[in-house]
Amino acid sequence: MSSKPLFVKQSGTGPALIFLHGFLEDHTIWYSVFPTFVNAGFTCYMPDLPCHGNSRFEGEKCSMQEMAWGIQDLIIREKIHHPIIIGHSMGGYVGLALKKMSPLKKLILLHSNFWADSEEKKKDRDRVCEVVEKSRRLFLNEAIPNLFAPQNREFRREHIDRLIERADKIPVSEIIAATRGLRDRHGAYDQMNDNEVIMIQGDNDPVIPVSLLDQELEKLRIKPSVFTLANCGHMGFIEQPENLIQVLKDVLIE
């Protein structure tokens, strides 16, 4: 397996804030968010993770660890000390893997979690691989709208269509490699027991139901701060961008 240097968009000066996108996304998902933090005095880094956007990958499985190595290379190359990581969904899993390797000032899990896939979810990932191999577009047309709260899907149709068009450019082999990486990742409960992790969730997230999150939080010795976005599914930067930015400002700007 091998990955090439990551594509990274960089803007601003000041402390480092690294935005990590989710599965089937790329750095452009942050365009509604990052200018606020450039203006607040941060250097914002927005990489395309392996298998996504302009960052290519060769291999049958791209693990979260593999993706984290790419971010660690960025940290070393840019001489970044104790960055803040904001990881959406899969990007949060990458952030948790990175936390084991590199000291972070803060890790914000945005519509993300810290437990491994259940056996049922792993079977779903295998089915994704089968469907994508037959018809990438069929999978995208079904999967991406289902990330949104039902009441937001029609209202955000233009954004959904744009996400589908961009994801349709990802090679089939790389969607499958990333899916396998998601399937085989381990839980990261040990990375949650400090004050560095903050969670931001949607109250109507179809991927991470509130009831499941509450159940898993009970297993932690130290519980992170959890902020909830109202009327929001799994895509807060599109469904509730203003509310998301306000929460991030409250957390990051002293």
What is residue 139's predicted lDDT score, i.e. its pLDDT?
Answer: 98
- Does the model's pTM come out above 0.75? yes
For residues 209-226, give the mean pLDDT.
96
Alpha carbon dihedral 122, 123, 129, 131, in 10-degree steps, equals: -140
CA angle 195, 197, 201 (to 5 degrees): 135
Cα first-last separation, the chain? 42
Burial 211-241 (b: 16+ CB within 10 A, else e): eebeeeeeeeeeebeebebeebbbbbbbbbb
Residue 223 has pLDDT above 60, yes or no: yes
What is residue 3's predicted lDDT score, i.e. its pLDDT?
Answer: 53
Residue 1 has pLDDT above 90, yes or no: no
Residue 217 has pLDDT above 70, yes or no: yes
pLDDT in tens, 104-118: 999 999 999 999 999
Residue 154 phi, psi dihedral angles, 5° rounding: -70, -40
Q: CB–CB of 95/85 below 8 Å?
A: yes
pLDDT in tens, 2-14: 457 899 999 999 9
DSSP characters over 15-59? SEEEEE--TT--GGGGTTTHHHHHHTT-EEEEEPPTTBTTB-EES
The per-residue pLDDT of the chain, averaged, comes to 96
Residue 140 has pLDDT above 50, yes or no: yes
What is residue 193's predicted lDDT score, i.e. its pLDDT?
Answer: 85
